[in-house]
Amino acid sequence: MNTALLLVEIQNDYFPEGRMPLEKSTEASQKAQEILQVFRAKHLPIFHLQHVSTQPDAIHFLPCTKGVEFNANVQPLKTETIIKKHYPNSFKDTGLLNHLIKNQINHLVIAGMMTHMSIDATVRAAYDLGFTCTVLHDACATKNLDFNSLVIPAQNVHHSFIAALQPLYASTLSVKDFLQNSRNKMAVDA
């Protein structure tokens, strides 16, 4: 199985000093950094998805701002692919699918921001396009949501969306469990 890492919207506006901070974004980015280092060491394909707002009333991910830039924990290397996007679904109106097909990728390891929006939309679209997906749940972050004047805590939002993705749309693992499973698989394949 040919595997690639998708890092979705790990951008400065989602961090404490940004325009739309998420709960535990720093911790999630550190876990994403951990898996990023493993993919780099193994020379596996890495795709950084960068949301750039195009809506006139947008308040975050504005072009030419510090907020739209990638967080320091996951800064892309020149050899890694950056794909700009304008929608939660990382495949909509982007070249992502073409890059994956060109590289014969059939398994996506996904981490990033926001669990309830871009992670969910991207995973479901990837599944519909025939990809096998693994979501690294501790390398993702989200925020509190409101519904009928009820505040739904970010942790509940995160757990609900991760639970809804498994087992049909994706397997969901911590970074530690994913790395442990990968080591075991490599030992069997050797």
Decide: 103 and 45 in contact? Cβ < 8 Å.
yes
Instruction: Identify the CA nearest to 154 among candidates 166, 162, 142, 171.
Output: 142
Instruction: Say which residues have a Cβ less than 8 Å from residue 25's Cβ, sequence separation at least 6.
Output: 14, 15, 16, 71, 113, 141
Q: Which amino acid is at 152?
A: I
Residue 190 above 60 pLDDT?
no
pLDDT digits (tens, 9 = 90+) for 107-144: 999 999 999 999 999 999 999 999 999 999 999 999 99
The pLDDT of residue 185: 58
The pLDDT of residue 53: 94
Q: Of 42-51, 58-67, 73-82, which gets the smallest average pLDDT?
A: 58-67
Q: Where in the chain are the domains?
A: 3-189
Q: How confident is the prediction for the chain on average, in pLDDT? A: 94
Contacts for 29-32: CB closer than 8 Å, 24+ residues apart: 29/71, 29/73, 29/74, 29/139, 29/141, 30/73, 31/111, 31/136, 31/138, 31/139, 31/174, 31/175, 32/7, 32/73, 32/74, 32/111, 32/112, 32/136, 32/139
Decide: 134 and 172 in contact? Cβ < 8 Å.
yes
The pLDDT of residue 56: 85
The pLDDT of residue 189: 39
The pLDDT of residue 182: 76
Decide: 113 and 9 in contact? Cβ < 8 Å.
yes
Q: Which amino acid is at 96?
A: L
Q: Which amino acid is at 11?
A: Q
Decide: 134 and 171 in contact? Cβ < 8 Å.
yes
pLDDT digits (tens, 9 = 90+) for 141-182: 999 999 999 999 999 999 999 999 999 999 999 999 999 987
Q: Is the pTM of this model over 0.85?
A: yes
Mean pLDDT of 3-13: 98
Residue 71 above 90 pLDDT?
yes
Residue 186 above 60 pLDDT?
no
Residue 106 above 90 pLDDT?
yes
Neighbours of 2 (CB within 10 A): 11
Instruction: Identify the CA nearest to 14 among candidates 56, 66, 55.
Output: 66
CATH of domain 3-189: 3.40.50.850
The pLDDT of residue 55: 87
